[in-house]
A = this chain, B = another copy of it.
Amino acid sequence: MLRGNLVVGQSGGPTAVINCSLVGVVRQAMAQPEIEGIYGMLHGIRGLLDGEFIDLRQESEETLELLCQTPASALGTVRYKVKPADYDGILDVFARYNVRYFFYIGGNDSMDTVYQVSEAARARGYDLRAVGVPKTIDNDLAMTDHCPGFGSAARFVASAIRNTGFDTEAMGDSGPIKLMEVMGRNAGWLTAAAALAREAAGDPPHLIYVPECPVSEEQIAADVQAMYDRYGYCVAAVSEGVRRENGTPYAEGSGKKDAFGHEVKEGVIETVAEIIEKHTGMRARFDKPAYLQRSFAELQSPVDRDEAHQAGVEAVRAAVSGQSGVMVTLVRADSPTYALEYQIASLANVANAERMLPREYMNEAGNDVTPAFLDYARPLIGGPLLTYARLAKNLVPKR
């Protein structure tokens, strides 16, 4: 039994359910006699390095309960690429505060941080249990069936494209082409989830463009024209990372870079809209819900919320049982109805790996998902969307 204090942090882009994982960690930690202080680091690893901790034992159960429906990262988050020199500083803080349990809720970069901290502690002979809790709307972490945060973002994207789809259908020839830009620089999971908006053949989205399936200007224009000719309107879900045939992104290079050195992409949807107008003569309107995709708590998936919470619980269980350098994974049971098991995977297999949308989840043309993707994604959004109706439209005989 390893006695000591716990620190937990949140990192990277927030989600609509990332606080559920925090609450799961806190509640489970409270049930462990060997865990003494339960500290939250403010703004992730930056707060850790500065010793900016809050006492999570002093938070009320009412606050914890409400946090489960509160979007974004209650502890504050950070985009900071941990430098090799930082690990000594982190371990110094751990020793000073007798931190023996370290939980970090985040995506690829954050899992690398947990891995490096775990390795540094091992090298120094400092007894530490470091466990990663997966979180990302991009759904691109390796070794897990899916990531907490994805299901809620997917529910928002599906609802949003259905709503804007009804709007576009109603406009008819007064505005028949609509695009929605969906988050995901490299992986198309969230853009693909737009397909969950469909209830019948011909429902939007009519086209889905993901980074994994490069597409030419001419093909986009031909696809849009074909859908317009067939349905009288066309609604497309376009990933912010959609690429040309040669693999270069449609996003115009802005020259700006974020803290990780990734280039900041801008203007994707404007570029695609211009291409469509140039080739078809039809003006393409668009929605860019941007940060709403990861923060729209009104559209939390109940399944996602529960799983995010449980991932936090399982992380504490793994740590208390002696695990370190691991991430909690969500493993889908091989059963006719959706069921989930929680396991762990070595962070050596997770850190900085990126899981792309498998080719078999996209159709041959690369402009729509397959039924296999729908089977994969549907359980994650937590039940059907709101029921909408269309008029039967029995025509009155012409006079």
Contact = CB atoms under 8 A, between A and B. Distances in A.
Interface in A126-175: 159-160, 163-164, 166-175
Contact of A163 (B77, B171, B286, B295): B295
Interface stretch (A236-244, A296-304, A324-332): A296-304
B55 A394 contact: yes
Contact of A391 (B59, B295, B393): B59
Given A290-B285, A292-B287, A392 B58 contact: yes
A353 interface: no
Contact of A69 (B37, B78, B288, B387): B387
Q: How many copies altogether?
A: 2
A73 B291 contact: no
A68 to B, nearest CB: 9
A63 interface: yes
Contact of A167 (B14, B173, B178): B14
B387 A72 contact: no
Contacts of A398: 51
A72 B37 contact: no
A287 B290 contact: yes
A23 to B, nearest CB: 10
Contact of A164 (B10, B175, B292): B292
Interface string A240-264: 0000000000000000100100000
A305 to B, nearest CB: 13
Given A167-B291, A299-B298, A391-B63, A396 B53 contact: yes
A97 interface: yes
Nearest to A11: B174
Contacts of A10: 170
Nearest to A18: B170
A79 interface: yes
Interface string A268-307: 0000000000000001011111111011111100000000
Contact of A71 (B55, B62, B388, B396): B388
A173 to B, nearest CB: 8
A287 B298 contact: no
Contact of A170 (B62, B76, B163): B76
Contacts of A166: 14, 70-72, 295
Given A39-B396, A40-B391, A66-B389, A72 B292 contact: no
A49 interface: no
Nearest to A390: B74
B163 A296 contact: yes
A399 interface: yes
B287 A55 contact: no
Contacts of A175: 79
A339 interface: no
B292 A396 contact: no
A124 interface: no
A-B complex: 5 closest residue pairs judged by Cβ atoms: A66-B389, A72-B166, A53-B396, A72-B170, A163-B295
25 contacts: A37-B396, A52-B395, A54-B396, A63-B389, A63-B390, A66-B389, A69-B387, A70-B390, A71-B167, A72-B163, A72-B170, A74-B389, A76-B169, A77-B170, A79-B171, A96-B399, A163-B291, A163-B295, A163-B298, A167-B295, A256-B283, A286-B290, A287-B289, A297-B388, A298-B386
Given A76-B171, A78-B174, A292-B292, 16 more contacts: A51-B398, A55-B394, A66-B388, A67-B389, A69-B387, A72-B166, A77-B170, A77-B171, A163-B291, A163-B298, A167-B294, A174-B259, A286-B290, A287-B288, A288-B288, A288-B289
